[in-house]
Amino acid sequence: MLKKRFLYLFILINILIMQNVFASTIIGTVIDKDGVNIRSGAGTNYNKTGFLAYGKSVTLVSDKKFINSDIKEQKECAYWYQVYFNNNTNNYMCGELLSITKYDLYFTNTVYGTRINEDYATVRSTPGGTSIDRIYLGTEVNVIQKSGNWSKISYYNGRTGYVYSKLISKYEDITTTDEEYAKVLKEKGFPDSYIPFLTYLHKKYPNFIFEADLVNKSFTTVVNGEANKNALQTNESAYRASNTIRENPNWYTASNPVNAFFLDPRNYLTEKNIFVFEKLNYDKDYKNYNVILKNMFGSSYLADDEYINYYLKAGTYGASPIHLAARTIQEGGSNSSYAAITGTATSTGGLKYRSNNLDGFYNFYNIGAYQDNYTSSAVTRGIAVAAGLVDSYEGTPWDTREKAIVYGGKFIATAYINNNQNTLYYQKFNTSDKAHFPSYTHQYMANIIAPASEALNSYNTYIDKLKLTNEEFTFIIPVYKDMPKEFTTHPIIGDNDNNLTSISINGEKIQNFDSDVVEYEVYINSNLDKIKIEATSKSNKSTISGTGEIELNKEETFKEISIIVTSETGNKKTYKVKLIRKDNETSDDLPIEDILKNVDVKINDLYISGIGENKNVSYLINLIKQANTDVNITITNKDNTPNNSILKTSDKITIKNNSYEKTYTIVIKGDTNGDGKVTAVDLLRIQKHILKYTTLKDEYYEACDTNYDNSVSPVDMLRIQKHILKYITLK
């Protein structure tokens, strides 16, 4: 009986701490080489509102498909998705030209747990030993044992190591209750989930002032809005939106669950992190700026009175000198050898911008520092800004340190602080309704950790060094609509792969399968009452549901099957297979020409065309089998050897059923030499044909006739040229 009770308790505890996906975002990636137009409605009869190039991504409002009922014959696109574009949802894109993927927006946990309480913590092999890992603010850990000032922890699904114990906090250590003060906070607009943290801070620092900024946006909307706008350095794939380096060295775009964690104001309501919400406006009556600045800079060259006065002067434009000093430290400017402030970026650092010498210029705040088309070094571009070579900032060229500190500080004040981006949080995440610039734009830095890092500098100076525990600090804290009741957490670490490599129907693989394409149509015989669906995952750590033997209702003309792949980390991806029964009239005895009438190709007695360049053999086979699954198809090269690669002009295709057989020569429009590609060589061949230097015959002549007018003219040559330049697509 005791064992049963223990088992029940174990299960209950695991249910309570189970991590759940709270919401998802849907991303559409352009798969058409020519790109896709964005329109004001679901149809090509609506106005264009934008354009997205091949490989670029957009966030969908939902996975609802829109059909344009006003167009009787919408051959261009069967369905449309509503998308976010230019901070507007009145935009639509053709769904057939997008690859759709669902991503988790954020993870939540009913229990706050034990977490890292600073911007990051170094994990070591032994107490004070070699560094083996770095984990970020809010990472959940389990303390295994303590050894002096160090704690042995487990994290990330079983990794272990040691961290400094002061970098770990438990919920009960940073929260408390006070019914009277809770009423005060509720009157200001703070939700229940904020109150235990703020009450603890109030008891410890009674002169701290907390103001709620009630933002008229849902938390999910804000997370969506910040997608692809933030970066961090990490080795963990779950923390990355993609594995493509965004900026050197090793900066990656943050994944949506990471964005959500750092957007959630509750994750900063501790004494070390509360300063992300500190009001950063200049206070002309404040007397301690000088003392605080000297303590902040410590042994740095910037502790000299000359530099302190520069920061005090810069502050008069509206930004707290303390904030400007913290920003300098965060960006590296307190280090006298940092390239952006040495004044010798070219002579000692070898940095140049578009061949221009950058010596004699300074940028203490890394204003305008990011990679562009001319440099892969953000620092280099920042110095070019200071030199006046790019962008336009007041006082440039910043050819003295004084000008760089003062004019740079004036820019931060006028562009951010005085425009209601007057906290570290709002400079990083421009989400307040009171801000001057549109939401999710005009954000000072890409580094998603930066607010927490700068806040820690402020805490260390104000509280740890100067003991300003009775100082009156004001904190402006955002409160979003529909905040998740549970605590947001970082994504689960593990294999994030939720792709399939194949889907089979009754043992036959879907031809031309692509793991990024999630919707398929398969034609099946009308007399089937059940089918067997099999799928193979790319990762052996993912799980698949929705496969197996499926019962069919013979009265249904089609049935949609959902195959769900769940990665080790819990991310789900759904593949949909629409099973369509063939018409009873469709039979093996139909002439081949009649079968091809239902296929998107063009035929005559000899040739089959209308296929397009760079299509493989399986593409054409699958296209025809969608119209009739029972035909046998073989495709060979000109010399009758099997073709298993891309289709070329002069290939032969033979289609047969029980009663009929037909062989066609394949024509790829524009491929005039039979190599399967449309290049400048083909352009030269058609030019020579038109000038009568050579004569193209048979299928090669047909490949030249790109507009199907039964002649070869300069118009066809122009069309091939436009195809090569990607202005049009020949088919």
DSSP labels, 105-166? EEEEESS--EEE-SSEEEEESSTT--EEEEEETT-B-EEEEEETTEEEEEETTTEEEEEEGG
**Between these two residues, 101 and 310, which has the higher pLDDT value?**
310
**Is residue 42's pLDDT more than 50?**
yes
Query: Which among 156, 158, 153 has a CA at the least distance from the CA of 124?
Result: 153
Q: What value does the mean pLDDT of the chain take?
A: 88
Sorting pLDDT into bands at 50, 70 and 90, what band is 512? low
Q: pLDDT tens, 527-564?
A: 888 999 999 999 998 999 999 999 988 788 888 999 99
Q: pLDDT tens, 234-245?
A: 988 889 887 778
Over residues 116-127, mean pLDDT: 96
- CATH fold for the domain made of 21-106: SH3 type barrels. (2.30.30)
Question: Alpha-carbon distance 118 to 14, whole Å?
Answer: 27
Of all helices (H) and strands (E), which one includes residue 55?
none
Question: Alpha-carbon distance 583 to 524, whole Å?
Answer: 10
Residue 376: per-residue pLDDT: 87
Residue 1: per-residue pLDDT: 37
CATH superfamily of the 590-730 domain: Dockerin domain (1.10.1330.10)
**Is residue 75's pLDDT more than 70?**
no
Return left, alpha or beta for 81; rule: phi > 0 is left, psi -120 to 50 is alpha, else beta.
beta
Residue 731: per-residue pLDDT: 84
3-state secondary structure of 459: helix
Phi, psi of 620 (to 5 degrees): -70, -40
**Is residue 509's pLDDT more than 90?**
no
Residue 12: per-residue pLDDT: 33
Sorting pLDDT into bands at 50, 70 and 90, what band is 299? very high
Sorting pLDDT into bands at 50, 70 and 90, what band is 317? very high
- Residues near 26 by Cβ (< 8 Å), separated by ≥ 6? 59, 60, 62, 63, 100, 101, 102, 103
Question: Alpha-carbon distance 375 to 350, whole Å?
Answer: 13
Over residues 366-376, mean pLDDT: 90
Q: Answer yes or no: same fold for 21-106 and 111-173.
A: yes
Residue 87: per-residue pLDDT: 64
Sorting pLDDT into bands at 50, 70 and 90, what band is 266? very high
Residue 586: per-residue pLDDT: 45
**Between these two residues, 625 and 577, which has the higher pLDDT value?**
577
Question: Alpha-carbon distance 431 to 443, whole Å?
Answer: 10
Sorting pLDDT into bands at 50, 70 and 90, what band is 271? very high
Domain boundaries, the chain: 21-106, 111-173, 174-279+423-493, 500-581, 590-730
- Residues near 708 by Cβ (< 8 Å), separated by ≥ 6? 602
**CA gyration radius, the chain:** 32
Sorting pLDDT into bands at 50, 70 and 90, what band is 330? confident
Contact 668, 619 (CB under 8 A): no
Residue 607: per-residue pLDDT: 95
Sorting pLDDT into bands at 50, 70 and 90, what band is 207? very high
Over residues 119-130, mean pLDDT: 96
Contact 162, 127 (CB under 8 A): yes
CATH classification for the domain delimited by 111-173, as one of 3.30.360.10, 2.30.30.40, 3.30.70.120, 1.10.645.10: 2.30.30.40
**Between these two residues, 594 and 307, which has the higher pLDDT value?**
307
- CATH fold for the domain made of 500-581: Immunoglobulin-like (2.60.40)
**Is residue 125's pLDDT more than 80?**
yes
Q: pLDDT tens, 208-226?
A: 999 999 999 999 999 989 9
- The one-letter amino acid at 74: Q
**Between these two residues, 507 and 243, which has the higher pLDDT value?**
507
Sorting pLDDT into bands at 50, 70 and 90, what band is 20? low
**Between these two residues, 33 and 228, which has the higher pLDDT value?**
228
Sorting pLDDT into bands at 50, 70 and 90, what band is 76? low
Residue 589: per-residue pLDDT: 66
- Residues near 298 by Cβ (< 8 Å), separated by ≥ 6? none
pTM of the predicted protein model: 0.62
Over residues 587-607, mean pLDDT: 83
